[in-house]
Structure 1
Amino acid sequence: MKFMKLGTRPDTFYTEEATRSLSSDVPSDLIIQIKNTKYLLHKFPLLPKCGLLQQLCSQRPADSTEISAALDEIPGGEEAFELCAKFCYGITINLSAYNFVAAFCGAKFLRMSESVEKGNFVQKLEAFFGSCILEGWKDSVVTLETTTKLIEWSENLGIIRRCINSIVEKILTPPSKVTWSFTYTRPGYSLKRQHSVPKDWWTEDISILGIDLFRCIITAVRSTNLLPPPLIGEALHVYACRWLPDATKKINRPAETSASQTEDEVRKHRQVLETIATMIPTDRGSLSIGFTLRLLSLANFLAASQSTKSELVRRAGLQLDEATVEAILIPSPSFSDQCFYDIDLVRAVVESFLMQWRRNNESLTSLRKVTKLIDAYLQVVARDGNMPVSKIVSLAESLPDIARLDHDDIYKAINIYLKEHPEISKAEKKQLCQILDCRKLSQEVCAHAVRNERLPLRTVVQVLFYDQERHGRSKNSVSRATRDGGASSDLGRLLEAERKYGRSEGAGEVEIKEEEPSVTKLESNKAMRRRQKSKHGSSKG
């Protein structure tokens, strides 16, 4: 970064309590008060260069030997005034992007212009700004960042506009022509080993800016239509990583954090999040689905506006087929919620995906990817001790039947839920198992299901029925079931239990197509065969 050195005299300012003085044999005759700080200075070096002080002194009696003036409104406060005062005394000062704004605004306030004295401070600062700061990349960014303390003065003096124009011009420069230094700390990247500048070389440096200035730059860059949307999305990603918290870590924030501090942080984070959401390019793929879901999770936690949530839900739905289970494990916004995972928010994303899938008449591939994802998600949230059956069922049923080629993953989710929630009622078990299509279970899962004591009897009988139906209704299927482990004996045992304990969970409640034999008919056929065998045996005797 560049700097400008002015003056040659050593710094002889010193502090005594709340008073700043200059080591000099000449008594002070100019007292400047800036808030709680008093400056004991001299009229001769300052008045020739400061039009404002000339005006204030002209309003005093001519015979006044000592003049006092209050400059509480000087932009930049004590820092700005001291830079201007040292310039007047010829004391060495080093100007850079870090203190330029304060010095320039202070000099403008004190009217240190060419009309007051040739070669004055304002002229030198303007030359430094145009030839050094605006020509540099980091100089422009740092200068723009420092304007936040003097935003109104910086706008009126054109500092913000000129810095933004300089920054945008450099962002739009082809990477092959970038010759200035920049910050790039991505893992695995080494400037020494790389022969080319990365396309997103500028994203980290501008992430130091406040959200309003950052938005101005992104808006200006997007208006040119010269950068691809994913590059804009990467800039948003870098900025969010710098300024937004991790939702899961924020949930576990220390208890000693004061309520006022927490609320202030939440308010700032909410503003950043909502502003980022308005800058997301409309193109699919401009943000990764993982980043979009992270923003959605934060929007939930930070109680962002409904419009922000709706937009992020829509964006997430647009790319849900690219998501991972870990990405959609969105925690509930606070400990006050019964469930750890926010399954309702995931369902909203699924519904958004389905709406866009139907509207665009897309292929089954993306639908089945999402279904596979949601079934895997259900296996995770089923372990949530407070997750109600109704939410599991609602999410599972939100996807159309055509989306699932098999129900093995649904069965796994049901089994996990029953294992983790042994206290649920028979009615809840029945409600949960109604999402299972036994006709779509693999042989391996069927073999597990018929021996699963957690399942309602009604479901087990249904599994057996469709498993036998799949192998045919001939004697061959019966003998095959016997060879494979006694499925028919399992059916007899279950039917005996059904007769003993009633039909509340019995096979008689299984809804089947009219052309298919009912379980009751299967039972009567078996009884008839037993009687025929008995008669045949007695006739032989």
Structure 2
Amino acid sequence: MSNRYSKNSLIGDSKSPDLELFVKGVPFHLHKETLAKKSAKVTTLLECSKIDELRWILRDIDIDPTTFFLVTKFCHGYKIHFSSEIIVSVLCAAYYLEMNDDHSSNNLLNKAVTFLEQRVLTSWNETVKALRVCSDKILDKITDVGIIEVFLDSLVEKALKDPRLLEDLITLPLRLYESLILESSKHNVPIENLVVSLCNYAKRWVFDKDSGDESFSRYKREVIEAVERLLPHQRGAISCGFLFKSLKESIFLDACSDCRNGFEVRISKQLDMATAKDLLILSSKEDGSYDIELLKTILKSFYSNYNVSDVSRFVSVAKMLEEFLFEVAASDASLKVETFKALGEITVAASCDVLRYSDEIYRAIDVFLERRRGLTESEKMEACRVLECKKLSPEACEHASKNEKLPLRIVVQVLFFSQQQIRDRWAKELKGVHEKTEDVDVEEEENDEIENMNKKLLRLDIESDSSKKRGIENLACAVHCGKKKMKEEISVWREVKRKFGCMTSFTVDACNCYIKKRK
């Protein structure tokens, strides 16, 4: 490259060059007077006899050898051809070297500006091409003469006509991109188009890029901080998945606290719109563990934003956490009992007084134990401490009572509460009947049966492991027989209720029929 630029044949002069310039390590052998005819800056340096300074005249700007070669060709009278990719660099060089019409008519700066106006700014694609290759030093120089504003105005004007064009800006340097998004937002470009562009910009420069060296990690941090500043705060405007990824990256890149807090606030406003997979993105660490404290922080922020009237949102979050617990238990074979228990406690706290049944928590425990057959009895008990047996549905109780993976004490509790559920449903079925004496007899019979059950459970608790299965089966049989007996007695009251126009059956959620007056 150095030999090509130093050839006398290219500069069209038989005299020996008397000036050697270096551009990014590449030497250029030129004639001082030839440059001075087009450059007022070179003329001034020659008049002041500042030859040493002239040799490093381009050290303050980020001009590449290709651009300067065009400049020297122009100074020696050759016809040059501009392109969108090089025009900004040529403008910068012409402005810095003071190659204007005041010094020489029809000079390089005038030609470059004409090309910019007629061939670049009229086209969205060409304008983006021109800005894509700009370095910070070049941007500093063209900012001084107001060219940046010209580019911004041109792009914003076109984006207002077609906001979808904003997606094309993701290849621009952050400095230009941020300015363009700010200007677009001031002119009421639709939020959805701004969000799409910002998400794609973060995906290109942060999510899909390895951290690399320290300088690139710093750039990624600058990008994620800028994206957070530019994102809107409206609930639902940004997908939960993107917010969770962004928060995770902001923590990993050690972004400023305002950036992390900004993502946390946006997530807490729409946590009820998230999914279990979103939560997996956020809570999983680089080492495969889970950030329990971060999860608690997000939940605390969510609950502080809403009041007791927002029951539907609380329900959505509680269900999401249950699904999240199941996904973690089913997919992460390395999940420790302590971690599962901590996540389970968070899930139970979220479902308290919101969800009627704890079946999904039981399902998560079941799959956790299924995938970890080697756990000791005490470890199983630790994993099951988050289970509220009294909140299991009849179907879940029936399944748990036969579940050999559960610790013996949990099975005992399940059978006990299952018997209570039978009693409660029976009492509700008989509600409204005025046969008080018969009700007393029924209650005494129930109490006797429960007392017998408790005695059996106590005996079961001290049996050896070899007899565990047999004891459970016997208890389950006892519960089944109790159900059958009660159904036979309840059928009499169903006939009575049918006469009064009540429903002829009841659901597992408890009968909510009332005696109706006969017409």
Distance in 1, Cα, partners of 2:4 & 2:102:
37
What is aligned with 1:332?
284
Q: Does 1:202 align with 2:165?
A: yes
Residue 321 of structure 1 aligns to which amino acid in structure 2?
Answer: D
Matching of residues 3-402 of structure 1 within 5 Å: 15-16=2-3, 19-23=6-10, 24=12, 26-35=14-23, 36-42=25-31, 45-59=34-48, 69-73=55-59, 75=61, 76-149=63-136, 150-173=138-161, 175=162, 199=163, 201-224=164-187, 226-245=188-207, 261-330=212-281, 332-335=284-287, 339-358=288-307, 361-383=308-330, 384=332, 385-387=334-336, 388=338, 389-402=340-353
Residues 207 and 242 in structure 1, CA contact (< 8 A), matched pair in contact too: yes
CA deviation digits over 1:290-317, x for unaligned, max 9? Answer: 2112212323433333332222122122
Assess, with a 3 A threshold, how the Cα gap between structure 1 residues 48 and 392 changes in structure 2: closer, same or farther: closer
Secondary structure, counterpart of 2:70 in structure 1: helix
Residue 124 of structure 2 aligns to which amino acid in structure 1?
Answer: W
Distance in 2, Cα, partners of 1:488 & 1:271:
69
Offset at 1:207? 0.5
Distance in 2, Cα, partners of 1:378 & 1:60:
78
Assess, with a 3 A threshold, how the Cα gap between structure 1 residues 20 and 366 changes in structure 2: closer, same or farther: farther
Residue 59 of structure 2 aligns to which amino acid in structure 1?
Answer: E
Distance in 2, Cα, partners of 1:431 & 1:346:
21
Residue 90 of structure 1 aligns to which amino acid in structure 2?
Answer: G
Secondary structure, counterpart of 1:38 in structure 2: strand
Residues 52 and 110 in structure 1, CA contact (< 8 A), matched pair in contact too: yes
Assess, with a 3 A threshold, how the Cα gap between structure 1 residues 292 and 15 changes in structure 2: closer, same or farther: closer
Offset at 1:219? 1.4
Offset at 1:40? 2.9
Assess, with a 3 A threshold, how the Cα gap between structure 1 residues 423 and 278 changes in structure 2: closer, same or farther: farther
Distance in 2, Cα, partners of 1:357 & 1:273:
28
Residues 45 and 54 in structure 2, CA contact (< 8 A), matched pair in contact too: no
Distance in 2, Cα, partners of 1:280 & 1:417:
39
What is aligned with 1:509?
none
Matching of residues 403-414 of structure 1 within 5 Å: 403-414=354-365
Offset at 1:329? 1.0
Distance in 2, Cα, partners of 1:428 & 1:318:
37
Distance in 2, Cα, partners of 1:465 & 1:305:
54
Offset at 1:206? 0.7
Tell me the TM-score normalized by structure 1.
0.72
Distance in 1, Cα, partners of 2:166 & 2:48:
53
Assess, with a 3 A threshold, how the Cα gap between structure 1 residues 40 and 298 changes in structure 2: closer, same or farther: closer
What is aligned with 2:461?
498
Assess, with a 3 A threshold, how the Cα gap between structure 1 residues 365 and 246 changes in structure 2: closer, same or farther: farther
Residue 354 of structure 2 aligns to which amino acid in structure 1?
Answer: A
Distance in 1, Cα, partners of 2:214 & 2:285:
14
CA deviation digits over 1:264-283, x for unaligned, max 9? Answer: 44332222112211211011
CA deviation digits over 1:467-519, x for unaligned, max 9? Answer: 12222288999xxxxxxxxx9999776432224579xxxxxxxxxxxxxxxx9
Secondary structure, counterpart of 2:423 in structure 1: coil
Assess, with a 3 A threshold, how the Cα gap between structure 1 residues 240 and 410 changes in structure 2: closer, same or farther: same
Identical columns (%): 27
Tell me the TM-score normalized by structure 2.
0.75
Structure with more of its chain in helix, by fraction: 2
Offset at 1:222? 1.6
Residues 30 and 41 in structure 1, CA contact (< 8 A), matched pair in contact too: yes
Offset at 1:239? 0.9
Secondary structure, counterpart of 1:39 in structure 2: strand
Distance in 1, Cα, partners of 2:65 & 2:389:
79
Aligned CA RMSD, in angstroms, stands at 3.7
Distance in 2, Cα, partners of 1:443 & 1:271:
55
CA deviation digits over 1:367-422, x for unaligned, max 9? Answer: 21221111011012224324324422332233141221211101011222333445
Distance in 2, Cα, partners of 1:55 & 1:328:
65
What is aligned with 2:367?
416
Distance in 2, Cα, partners of 1:81 & 1:262:
30
Distance in 2, Cα, partners of 1:261 & 1:471:
63
Residues 15 and 21 in structure 1, CA contact (< 8 A), matched pair in contact too: no
Assess, with a 3 A threshold, how the Cα gap between structure 1 residues 70 and 368 changes in structure 2: closer, same or farther: closer
Offset at 1:326? 1.8
Offset at 1:350? 2.5
What is aligned with 2:489?
none
Aligned length: 439
Offset at 1:16? 2.4
Segments of 5+ residues of structure 1 without an aligned counterpart are 1-13, 176-198, 251-259, 478-486, 503-518, 527-541
Offset at 1:21? 3.4
Secondary structure, counterpart of 2:28 in structure 1: strand
Offset at 1:138? 2.0
